[in-house]
Copies of this chain bind each other. A is one copy, B any other.
Amino acid sequence: MGQDAGDVARRLLTGEIAAGARAIRWLDDRDPRGPALLAAVYPHTGRAQIVGITGPPGAGKSTLTDMLVAEWRSRGMRVAVLAVDPSSPFTGGAILGDRVRMARHALDPGVFIRSLGTRGQAGGLSRSTHDAALVFDAMGYDIVVVETVGVGQDEIDVVNLAHTTIIVAVPGLGDEIQAVKAGIMEAGDIFVVNKADRDGYDATRRQMEMMLHLRAQSRPAQPETPVLRSVAARGEGGAEIVEAIAAHRTRLEGAGDFARRNGLRARAQVINLVKDALTARALELGGDAIFDAVDARRIDPHGAAEHLLRQLDERIIAA
């Protein structure tokens, strides 16, 4: 089996799962064949709809995703799922439950499931997610689901760059959780109250509608945002959500926003890559002397940063 970037790229474009898995591994491992492969397949991207699914822990996002995957498959669409979990030193990154729940799709070649940990690297989450989404897009998946807990800034960045963002709520969680969730309310295109057979459904739905009403006042030109109900564990509500997602794509395309969001995502990706590379350089530069000076409080952190930037300029000029 070819290990060469061009060969893997060719096989990947035919949708071969093993080639896709290898590509993502190269990108995660920072293997130089990863970027070479992305360069080869990038012209073939831009077709997949990126769907962010987010909400508080316990909202049943994985079960909901599982139900939506089944619904898309019944319509003949191919789906990739990126489950983004905060890395755990005990589990090695992925929450076992996700994998177990998704097991029924494991043998379906029309479904590609991948768990991403953040591996403790700043910016690692968005870098891996964006790279993997491009690979799935090039492989011809119609839908790429990115499922996150949606609380951290990294995750908010990822979700904000999806074409379609689904916010999942659940009856009976406290106010504090609702407030945390408010941080990503702005990005929500479709709202779902899952576990809708539970006590408190009406209150949660009303709360959501009230927040959307407030939001609509600050941007009145927007079309109405759907609030849907589901009981994912019993397979209820999937068709309506999948249809709302398709309707959202149609609306984005009509307004030219589908391609525009791809552009914003690529832009964020470029900026993150530049930032990562420059951090490595900055670290190389300083040596220990400047940090010793900071430790001794002879210079403060902002002063030290300026010093390093001047050094960088001088060293490059001398080279």
Contacts and interface: CB of A to CB of B under 8 A. Distances in A.
A95 B179 contact: yes
A4 interface: no
A172 to B, nearest CB: 11
A268 to B, nearest CB: 9
Contacts of A312: 278, 316
Contact of A57 (B176, B267, B275): B176
A319 interface: yes
A91 interface: yes
Interface in A56-105: 56-58, 85-91, 95-97
Tell me how many chains of this kind the complex includes.
2
Interface stretch (A149-157, A197-205, A224-232, A242-250): A149-157
A39 interface: yes
A126 to B, nearest CB: 8
A101 to B, nearest CB: 11
25 contacts: A35-B302, A42-B301, A46-B297, A57-B176, A85-B179, A87-B183, A88-B183, A90-B211, A91-B179, A91-B182, A96-B179, A122-B123, A130-B301, A134-B300, A262-B295, A263-B291, A266-B294, A271-B279, A273-B302, A274-B283, A275-B278, A278-B281, A316-B316, A316-B317, A317-B317
